[in-house]
A and B are shown apart, each in its own frame.
Chain A
């Protein structure tokens, strides 16, 4: 269950271009950590190094260590596929499998992990959909395609799909940026509930959202376009938004740049 993430000296590259430089931080279990920062500062790239999704991009390469409790995700014996089964991810745009029913979408990860009896599968699907606050809206149409739901429902379906496999960590890459305010609120409430069970890391462009949902906030910045992104500071969310220790953070949060 929920595990601590310990990152040390992590840099990520796209081919020859260094996207993020020498990042170290600790993410506590059963907490929500928000990544904020201007576009191109590498926060999404960093997020994708935490489940080894960065390296599926052509030319993607990582240096450094990511410890999940005590296991290095980048150890030579570690299978990236196995990593992604324990570190779930929710994307910017809802991406349910378009050809699958709602039920099959949630069950997809379980079926990858091995054999399940039919009633076990149904139990986990119901539990996951309830966990994603979607059950009441879809329980009568589990066999309809997931792509027929609204954007906000699709995103909660993707969250249900991610939590169905009981990951140790849940990564969210701007999960509300394609959603309307009401759907956003639903997801934010959900994040509050999910942190009881999972370690959650969320990338967001919306600073109010970071302030609302997260326990700790990390601010990323880059010195100039084309330069690698860096972690400026990470601290309690309250502190970051009231009295950050670095001037750049305060400038960014209060809307003054440069």
Chain B
């Protein structure tokens, strides 16, 4: 209402308002800041639109020339005649390696975050938090090299053990003899890489649990673990979900570390200990240099799918958080 009234009233005579503008020193600053912030917002939209248009156009060209089904084909041969390529293996590999990474990293990260925020003595908590943050500063290619030269040879024993005792689950059955350049190894490596972000965001959330929520549990005769179960975890739940999604975003898009460790193949297999498979990002990195025009467009099309996948993951996370809003600590 107020704004419509303001626009309905005739503007004051121009000279008077110009006069006022000159007198008020704040006006110029306001205008510049408004311009800057509006400009930044528009710039962001333009960049996003440019990326989306570029990806869609190039992807469209590639998919129209694809002689296989883009979604279900296993092969990646855009240079062949006829060109046949599909993302089935890449999508599967990306999702599987990320699931493995999340399954390993999230519980450990929550554990570390709880230890730092609620168990560790202060003298230990600060250095420990620092070391975890330091993990985030390691470049991903260094993780890749470490994974290839350390994890791959040393994981053989663990793989044999899993095969022997968990082989009946099918997933951990090993059908090929060979070094552990497998999805499982990639998952472990990705888990280590996303550990710092999940840990530090979770830790911050756990530290923000209101004192009175924890005292509510304490006064009922809760032990330290019960305080965490009754007060800390419910309060931190949506924060941990957001933290996990940040980690998942990184795991989905991780390129160099995966490309260095995995021995890629266009085989779709649920045996995660067997070498082979591929991910979107790893495939783009591996193929980009050797590809022709159509090959590059095909890679861009696969990149678009990764983009959409990440978008869906984020949307799902938001939905989970929003559904729990009624129960969240925010309105306490």
Residues of A at the B interface (CB closer than 8 Å) are 51, 53, 56, 81-86, 88-89, 91, 93, 95-100, 108-109, 112-113, 145, 147-148, 158, 161-162, 165
Chain B residues contacting A99 (CB-CB under 8 Å) are 234-235, 237, 324, 327-329
User: Could you jot down 5 A-B contacts, CB within 8 Å?
Assistant: A53-B218, A91-B215, A95-B216, A99-B234, A112-B222
B231–chain A nearest beta-carbon distance, Å: 7
B216–chain A nearest beta-carbon distance, Å: 4
Chain A residues contacting B237 (CB-CB under 8 Å) are 99
Interface string of B175-206 (1 = CB under 8 A from A): 00000000000000000000000000000000
Q: Which of these, B221, B328, B332, contacts A84 with CB under 8 Å?
A: B221
B215 in contact with A113 (CB, 8 Å): no
Number of interface residues of B (CB under 8 A): 25
Bound Cα distance from A96 to B217, whole angstroms? 9
Shortest beta-carbon contacts, A-B, top 6: A85-B221, A99-B234, A98-B332, A89-B219, A84-B221, A109-B220
B263 adjacent to chain A (CB < 8 Å): no
Per DSSP, are chain B's interface residues mostly helix, strand or loop, or mixed? helix
Bound Cα distance from A99 to B233, whole angstroms? 10
A147 in contact with B332 (CB, 8 Å): yes
Q: Which of these, A96, A98, A112, contacts B226 with CB under 8 Å?
A: A112
Name the CB-closest residue of A to B324: A99
**Residues 63-110 (chain B) with a chain A CB within 8 angstroms:** none
A95 in contact with B215 (CB, 8 Å): yes
B223 adjacent to chain A (CB < 8 Å): yes
Bound Cα distance from A113 to B226, whole angstroms? 11
B212 in contact with A91 (CB, 8 Å): yes
Bound Cα distance from A100 to B213, whole angstroms? 12
Residues of B at the A interface (CB closer than 8 Å) are 210, 212-213, 215-223, 226, 230-231, 234-235, 237, 324, 326-329, 331-332
Chain A residues contacting B221 (CB-CB under 8 Å) are 81-86, 109, 112-113, 165
Chain A residues contacting B217 (CB-CB under 8 Å) are 97, 108
Bound Cα distance from A87 to B56, whole angstroms? 66
B219 in contact with A84 (CB, 8 Å): yes
Query: Told that A89-B219, A162-B219 touch, could you supply 4 new A-B pairs with CB distance under 8 A?
Result: A88-B220, A99-B237, A109-B220, A148-B326
B246–chain A nearest beta-carbon distance, Å: 22
A93–chain B nearest beta-carbon distance, Å: 6
A165 in contact with B220 (CB, 8 Å): yes
Bound Cα distance from A7 to B299, whole angstroms? 77
Bound Cα distance from A147 to B216, whole angstroms? 14
Chain B residues contacting A96 (CB-CB under 8 Å) are 216, 332
A179–chain B nearest beta-carbon distance, Å: 15
Bound Cα distance from A108 to B332, whole angstroms? 17
A175–chain B nearest beta-carbon distance, Å: 13
B215 in contact with A97 (CB, 8 Å): no
A51, A91, A98, A158 — most chain B CB neighbours (10 Å): A98
B94–chain A nearest beta-carbon distance, Å: 33
Given the known inter-chain contacts A112-B226, A145-B327, A148-B326, please indicate yes or no for A98 contacting B218, CB distance below 8 A: no
A145–chain B nearest beta-carbon distance, Å: 5
B326 in contact with A108 (CB, 8 Å): no
A112 in contact with B332 (CB, 8 Å): no
Given the known inter-chain contacts A145-B327, A148-B326, please indicate yes or no for A97 contacting B234, CB distance below 8 A: yes
B219 in contact with A98 (CB, 8 Å): no
Name the CB-closest residue of A to B213: A95
A100 in contact with B223 (CB, 8 Å): no
B220 in contact with A147 (CB, 8 Å): no
B216 in contact with A158 (CB, 8 Å): yes
B215 in contact with A161 (CB, 8 Å): no
Bound Cα distance from A84 to B219, whole angstroms? 6
Given the known inter-chain contacts A98-B328, A99-B234, A99-B235, please indicate yes or no for A88 contacting B219, CB distance below 8 A: yes
Given the known inter-chain contacts A99-B327, A112-B221, A145-B326, please indicate yes or no for A53 contacting B215, CB distance below 8 A: yes
Chain B residues contacting A147 (CB-CB under 8 Å) are 327, 331-332
Bound Cα distance from A83 to B327, whole angstroms? 30
B219, B222, B324, B328 — most chain A CB neighbours (10 Å): B219
Chain A residues contacting B331 (CB-CB under 8 Å) are 98, 147-148
Chain B residues contacting A89 (CB-CB under 8 Å) are 219
B216, B222, B327 — most chain A CB neighbours (10 Å): B216
Bound Cα distance from A91 to B217, whole angstroms? 12
Name the CB-closest residue of A to B234: A99
Bound Cα distance from A76 to B10, whole angstroms? 81
Chain A residues contacting B231 (CB-CB under 8 Å) are 97
Bound Cα distance from A88 to B219, whole angstroms? 6
